[in-house]
Amino acid sequence: MSIRYEQFCPVAKASEILSEKWTFLIIREAIMGATRFNEFQHGMALISPTMLTKRLNDLTENGLLMRKKIPAQKGYEYHLTGAGKELFPIIKQLGDWGMRWARGQMVDSELDVELLILYLVRSIKPESLPGNETVIQFNFTNLKKLGRWWIVVRGNDVDACLEDPGRDVDIWFTTDLRTMIEAWMGDITYKEAVRDKRMKLIGPKALTNNITLWMTNSIFAGIPQASKIE
């Protein structure tokens, strides 16, 4: 813990632990299910391994995370403690505030396709898909690199890959990255994107007409920007 405010105020004491760079995002990833080092890295592409190690150690020392050895493997898993879990409503309210007041217009550098795919994988509801296997393909028309992705759902396992898995595709999304992010974030609906010819969907109508039944939107979807509230 490097920040010291030298005050007894609980806001100051909490800030000493939480206001370090990356801390809130690490807690966000833990809440969303990340437990291993590489899983935290996937959710924060710009964090260095050294910084991530330091932040995980800090949060463990401060009682927000618990470190457990991975059985029969090298490395550790990190799990939220009771204190860490109590941060969920704070993270949620912080995100709500960000949607309303801080997000504004997304610049191209913030459109991270790898982060989007990670979130889409976490948003899939296997129990709402028919059969034991579903393959979803995403074609991002504006990307020269990382422009084609597949999400493969087998039973309760959901995985993303950049190489063709060699399976029959059930649902195709063809769109630009910004449109897909806006649809998942709830800025527009999938039907609006298709109507405006910003997105093309191919697949069984039972699935393409009801996407949010099997792939949920962001938990922050539906919160309008303050500038758009009349």
Q: In which band, very low, low, confident or very high, does the pLDDT at 73 lie, cut at 50, 70 and 90?
A: confident
**Residue numbers of the domain that contains 157:** 108-214
Count of domains for the chain: 2
Asked if the structure places residue 66 within a domain, the reply is: yes
Asked if the structure places residue 5 within a domain, the reply is: no
Asked if the structure places residue 230 within a domain, the reply is: no
Looking at the structure, tell me whether residues 75 and 38 fall in a common domain. yes
Q: Are 67 and 76 in contact (CB under 8 A)?
A: yes
216-225 pLDDT per residue, tens: 999 999 898 8
Q: Is the pLDDT of residue 1 over 70?
A: no
Strand-strand pairing, 171-175 and 199-202: antiparallel
% of the chain surpassing 90 pLDDT = 87
Q: Is the pLDDT of residue 230 over 70?
A: no
Q: What are the Cα distances from residue 116, in Å, to 42, 156, 182, 220?
A: 11, 20, 11, 14
30-36 long-range contacts, Cβ below 8 Å, gap at least 24?
A: 30/65, 30/78, 30/79, 30/80, 30/84, 31/80, 31/85, 31/87, 31/88, 31/91, 32/122, 33/122, 34/78, 35/77, 35/78, 35/79, 36/70, 36/75, 36/76, 36/77, 36/78
Asked if the structure places residue 57 within a domain, the reply is: yes
Q: Where are the alpha helices (DSSP H) in the chain?
A: 10-18, 23-31, 37-43, 49-61, 82-85, 88-97, 113-123, 177-185, 190-195, 205-208, 211-214
Q: Output DSSP code: residue 36.
A: B
Q: Which CATH number does the domain housing residue 72 bear?
A: 1.10.10.10
Mean pLDDT of 50-75: 94
Cα 213–Cα 179–Cα 205 angle in degrees, nearest 5: 35
Q: What is the pTM of this model?
A: 0.89
Looking at the structure, tell me whether residues 65 and 114 fall in a common domain. no
- pLDDT at position 17 is 92
Q: Which CATH number does the domain housing residue 121 bear?
A: 3.30.1050.10
Looking at the structure, tell me whether residues 139 and 210 fall in a common domain. yes
Q: Is the pLDDT of residue 75 over 90?
A: no
Looking at the structure, tell me whether residues 62 and 18 fall in a common domain. yes
Q: Is the pLDDT of residue 104 over 90?
A: no
Q: Are 186 and 216 in contact (CB under 8 A)?
A: no
Q: In which band, very low, low, confident or very high, does the pLDDT at 106 lie, cut at 50, 70 and 90?
A: confident
Looking at the structure, tell me whether residues 63 and 126 fall in a common domain. no
Asked if the structure places residue 219 within a domain, the reply is: no
